[in-house]
Amino acid sequence: MTDDKGIKTEPAVDTAEGVEVLASAIAKKGYKAVGRYYSFSKWKQLQPTEAQQLIAAGLSIITVYEDSNDRPSSFTSAAGTQQAQQALHLAQDVIRQPKGSGIYFAVDYDASYYDYVHYITPYFKEIQSVFKKAGNPYKIGIYGNGLVAANALQDGLVDLTWLSQSQGFRDYKKFRDSRKWNILQGPAIKISGTEFDGDTINLTNGDFGGFTHLVPKDGS
């Protein structure tokens, strides 16, 4: 697909709910990718069998890490370490997410520039440190408002950006119109009675961090 601004796009969805049984229904609706969670909260974690079913249906998987991550105090160096380690554990040991794909980390509130400098930057620097020690197996992404997405990208803290659907948040329109986003979140939709957020993938910016296969258990 190509939108009215000439951007090549694909439709996607994301949800905190397990959607193993809906994989075929999602694909039949024309969606190309599904965003799912890594977290310390087990109820919203992407599951191995779910990942297998989504891929079998021809869908790409996008992973995003989020615990609460919804206020300045959520973002500390210690939290960055813990969440990065948990993300790597789930990606490598549980899901077997392939190297070179991406993991987004959520900033799920309307963060200010002060918050970005004093809380979010140290958090992402620690994620970078943990990933570097692990050999940089995955690209780092950010989910959040336009302000944090633009600044984290400019400052080299992330490779990928996912713009929150909240149009009233800081710099939403500015970052949307910049076309620098990899994923643009949109309005809620329903598939077979289950609610999702709709998303648009920006293919013009190349790789968005999704993956379409899992690493075999023998690592080959």
| DSSP conformation letters of 84-138 | HHHHHIIIIIII-PPTT-EEEEE--S---HHHIIIIIHHHHHHHHHHHHHTT--S
pLDDT value of residue 217:
80
Is the pLDDT score of 190 beyond 80?
Answer: yes
Q: In one letter, which amino acid is 31?
A: Y
Is the pLDDT score of 100 beyond 50?
Answer: yes
Say how far apart CA 219 and CA 177 lie, in whole Å.
41
Instruction: Quote the crossing angle between the two packed helices 121-133 and 77-88, to the nearest 10°.
Output: 40
Is the pLDDT score of 4 beyond 90?
Answer: no
| CA–CA distances in Å: residue 16 to residues 43, 55, 71 | 8, 18, 19
Is the pLDDT score of 6 beyond 90?
Answer: no
Q: Model confidence over 8-35: pLDDT tens digits? A: 999 999 999 999 999 999 999 999 999 9
pLDDT value of residue 146:
98
Domains and CATH numbers, the chain: 9-205 (3.20.20.80)
Is the pLDDT score of 220 beyond 50?
Answer: no
Q: pLDDT-based confidence at 3, cuts 50/70/90?
A: low
pLDDT value of residue 136:
98
In 3D space, the residue among 206, 205, 217, 159 whose CA is nearest the CA of residue 178 turns out to be: 205
Say how far apart CA 56 and CA 78 lie, in whole Å.
37
Beta bridge partners of 32: none
Q: Specify whether the CB–CB gap between 13 and 26 falls below 8 A.
A: yes
